[in-house]
Amino acid sequence: MKSPRFLAICFLLTSLAPAIGKELPCKPEKWQAAIEKFAAADLENPPAQEGIVFVGSSSIVLWKLPESFPDLNATNRGFGGSEICDSTHYLETLVIKHHPRIVVFYAGDNDIARGKTAEQVHHDFLAFQEKLFTALPDTRLLYVAIKPSRSRWQKAPVMAAANELIAAECESSERMTFIDIWTPMVSTQDSFEEEAMPPADLFIKDGLHLSAKGYDLWNSILEPHLQDDK
C-alpha cells in the first residue's frame, strides 16, 4: 500500500508519541442508551438476516446507505464518537444477532484522537475480528481505512501506521478486506506535509466529517466489494 520509506517515517513518528505505553481503558457504558435504541428498533423492525451491517463511528452514522446502495440490504449500526473497543463490546447486539454475510466496519479515528497508538488500534482491531469470526465464521469483514481528515491531520502519521498494520492483517485472511480510502483522498502520497492534506471539498466545514462528495468517493471504492458478494 505504501513505500518502505513512508512506512519507516510512520513508525518513527508514532514511536515518539508520548502515549506509546499508556493504556487507555475502554468505556463502553457511555453508549448504553444508544445501544438500547438499536435493540428497540430491531424489535420493531427486525433487519433481515444474511444482509450487510455497517458498524462503527460517525462516518458510519452519517453514511446515507439507502441512497448509496439502494439495491443492497444494508443496516446502519453506527454510533458517533465510538472507538473500536466500543463496537467490540456491543458486537452481539449490533452485529452478531443479525447474522450478516458482510460487515462493513469503520473505527479507529476517535481512538487515535484520544491518544491511542497505532499498535493499540491494531490490538483492538484484532479483538474485534476475533469476536466476530468466533461467532460468525462465514461472515466477511470489510474494514474501511482510517480516513485522513483535515482537522486531525497532525495525527496522520499514527493513522497511516495503524492502517498499515490492519491492512497487513486483512491480507492474511480471505475473510477480510482492507478498503483503502486513504490513498485516493490525500493530495500527495508518502507525505505528511500540509500540502498533502485531502481536498477541503471532501469534508463538511468541520474538516472531520465527510461531505456528499466525500461519500461519493467512498461509495465508488466500496461498492465493487459489496457487489462481488451479492
Q: Please report the DSSP string for the chain in residue order.
A: ---HHHHHHHHHHHHT-TTTT------GGGGHHHHHHHHHHHHHSPPPTTSEEEEESHHHHT--HHHH-TTS-EEEEE-TT--HHHHHHTHHHHTGGG--SEEEEE--HHHHHTT--HHHHHHHHHHHHHHHHHH-TT-EEEEEPPP--STTGGGHHHHHHHHHHHHHHHHT-TTEEEE--HHHHSSSTT--SGGGSPPGGGB-TTSSSB-HHHHHHHHHHHHHHHHTT-
20 is a domain residue: no
215 lies in which domain range? Answer: 4-15+41-227
Q: What pLDDT shows up at residue 228?
A: 58
184 is a domain residue: yes
Residue owning grid cell 513512508 = 6
Is the Cα dihedral 167, 7, 88, 154 positive or negative? negative
30 is a domain residue: no
Single pTM value for the model = 0.90
CATH number at residue 90: 3.40.50.1110
Low-confidence ranges of the chain (pLDDT < 70): 1-22, 228-230
Q: What pLDDT shows up at residue 190?
A: 78
Domain total of the chain: 1
Residue owning grid cell 463502553 = 28
87 is a domain residue: yes
Comparing CA positions, the residue from 185, 177, 186, 179 lying closest to residue 217 is: 185
Residue owning grid cell 518513527 = 12
